[in-house]
């Protein structure tokens, strides 16, 4: 590769980064404006002259083309030098246009619009940290409600219901009733009702804005690690610490949970359970290196379909559709494709250290078409470009492997707990 080509590639990467930084800064400024309407004393940045940001937004095409002249360059340079501390948005803007002209000359491109479109098409959407609050107690599981206005978090044997509006704000309710730690949560997509599980299974319902009550609770025969329910919310599936997968009849309206049957093919933890797209099969993974695929019968009961023995255990699995499975095992994210009696295996993403904390299941968000994968102390944001083709969009680095989180239904917000901090990330396009 010659030096000229390398220079072009490096300049293009910097242009993309500058564009992304401008978007991030604009979001931060908009957040400050919105908060200042509520509290005039709130400020994250020492920016006194609003005209700086207005200048960036209002720069027209004529001003852009004038940057091609040496006189404009000198004027801009003087303007930036005189306002170094307060003129960050203008510095970003002019750095972008300086480099854009260099790139246009190198590539022989005459149209600025062509460069802008090229940069936009190659700019990958990413999540940025927008807020963090202290939360000392471990949040093993987090869950959004149906319209992303509430988020539930576990706090040992209690559950907090928090208001969410672009970020976590007020605590609405504290739910008490579990005798031991709550391991997992699942909000209804039809109402403000919540299932929580540990050594017991609780059904909670919202009776008024800040009032929640227990509708039903039963004891489990072993602490539950994971749960899911079907789209109709009539079938609840749980996996426990003794290797059992259980099917329950679920009725939020009547407030009922009844055991249908269970399957036990493992002697160890069940880490994650997942329905396929047609909801006629169930997927599960266990600590003793097993992948189980179960049939779901007409009455909701479970029967064995296929048992796969792996050479390494997977602590996270999910059905993408009826044939494709994603599983996270030590140092790799793998796609399994079911083809009649054969299984095709493809490594999608090699990951870091084999040490991990088993909670924080794989999540597939259809709204943004992204997969959220936690491995070790990292979160990988992977975009499915089309069936079978994936792109690593982002890798977030945290302080420790004791990391839990969830993505909102709209796919715009990612909430994590790590190192006694509850953090809100927002997707900026």
Domains for the chain: give ranges and CATH numbers.
3-123 (no CATH), 220-322 (2.40.128)
Q: Which two tokens stand for residue 373?
A: 């994968």
Say whether pLDDT at 275 is over 70: yes
Confidence of residue 243 (pLDDT cuts 50, 70, 90): very high
For 286-326, what is each residue's pLDDT tens digit? 999 999 999 999 999 999 999 999 988 888 999 999 999 99
Better-scored residue on pLDDT, 413 or 77:
413
Q: How far is CA 418 from CA 158, 400, 404, in A?
A: 18, 7, 7
What average pLDDT does range 252-280 have in this prediction? 96
What average pLDDT does range 234-243 have in this prediction? 97
User: What is the pLDDT at residue 2?
Assistant: 52
How many Cα atoms sit within 13 Å of 374 on the Cβ side? 26
Say whether pLDDT at 367 is over 70: yes
- Give me the numbers of helices (H) and strands (E) for the chain, helices first please: 6, 28
Say whether pLDDT at 330 is over 50: yes
* Pick from 36-40, 86-90, 166-170, 327-331: least confident: 36-40
Q: Which two tokens stand for residue 12?
A: 């293009």
Does the predicted model carry a pTM greater than 0.75? yes
Contact 20, 123 (CB under 8 A): yes
Confidence of residue 146 (pLDDT cuts 50, 70, 90): very high
Q: Cα(225)–Cα(273) distance, rounded to whole angstroms?
A: 10
User: What is the pLDDT at residue 66?
Assistant: 42
Tell me, rounded to whole angstroms, the distance of Cα 243 from its chain centroid: 28
What average pLDDT does range 137-163 have in this prediction? 97
Q: Report percent pLDDT > 90 for the chain.
A: 57
Q: What 3-state class would DSSP assign to 69?
A: coil
What average pLDDT does range 56-78 have in this prediction? 45
Q: How far is CA 155 from CA 149, 176, 227, 406, 414, in A?
A: 20, 10, 18, 16, 19
Contact 333, 325 (CB under 8 A): no
Q: Mean pLDDT in the chain?
A: 83
């Amino acid at each position: 590769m010659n030096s000229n080509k390398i220079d072009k590639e490096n300049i293009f990467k910097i242009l993309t980064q500058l564009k992304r930084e401008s978007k991030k800064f604009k979001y931060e400024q908009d957040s400050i404006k919105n908060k200042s309407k509520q509290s005039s004393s709130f400020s994250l940045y020492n920016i006194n002259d609003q005209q700086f940001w207005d200048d960036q937004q209002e720069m027209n095409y004529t001003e852009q083309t004038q940057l091609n002249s040496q006189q404009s360059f000198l004027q801009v340079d003087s303007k930036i030098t005189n306002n170094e501390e307060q003129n960050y948005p203008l510095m970003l803007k002019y750095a972008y246009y300086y480099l854009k002209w260099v790139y246009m000359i190198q590539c022989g491109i005459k149209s600025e619009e062509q460069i802008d479109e090229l940069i936009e098409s190659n700019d990958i959407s990413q999540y940025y940290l927008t807020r963090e609050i202290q939360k000392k107690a471990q949040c093993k599981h987090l869950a959004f409600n149906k319209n992303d206005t509430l988020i539930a978090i576990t706090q040992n044997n209690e559950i907090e219901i928090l208001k969410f509006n672009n970020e976590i704000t007020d605590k609405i309710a504290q739910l008490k009733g579990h005798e031991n730690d709550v391991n997992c949560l699942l909000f209804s997509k039809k109402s403000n009702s919540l299932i929580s599980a540990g050594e017991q299974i609780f059904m909670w319902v919202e009776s008024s804005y800040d009032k929640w009550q227990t509708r039903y609770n039963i004891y489990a025969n072993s602490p539950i690690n994971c749960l899911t329910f079907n789209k109709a919310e009539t079938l609840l599936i749980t996996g426990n610490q003794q290797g059992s997968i259980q099917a329950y009849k679920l009725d939020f309206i009547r407030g009922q949970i009844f055991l249908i049957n269970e399957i036990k093919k493992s002697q160890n933890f069940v880490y994650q359970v997942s329905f396929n797209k047609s909801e006629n099969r169930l997927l599960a993974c266990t600590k003793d290196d097993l992948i189980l695929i179960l049939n779901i019968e007409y009455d909701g009961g479970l029967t064995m379909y296929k048992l796969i023995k792996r050479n390494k255990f997977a602590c996270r699995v999910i059905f993408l559709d009826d044939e494709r499975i994603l599983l996270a095992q030590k140092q790799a994210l793998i796609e399994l494709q079911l083809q009649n009696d054969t299984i095709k295996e493809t490594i999608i993403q090699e990951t870091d250290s084999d040490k991990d904390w088993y909670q924080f299941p794989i999540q597939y968000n259809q709204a943004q078409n992204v997969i959220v994968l936690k491995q070790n102390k990292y979160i990988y944001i992977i975009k499915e470009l089309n069936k079978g083709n994936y792109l690593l969009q982002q890798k977030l680095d945290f302080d420790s492997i004791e990391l839990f989180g969830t993505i909102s239904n709209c796919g715009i917000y990612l909430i994590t707990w790590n190192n006694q901090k509850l953090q809100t990330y927002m997707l900026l396009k």
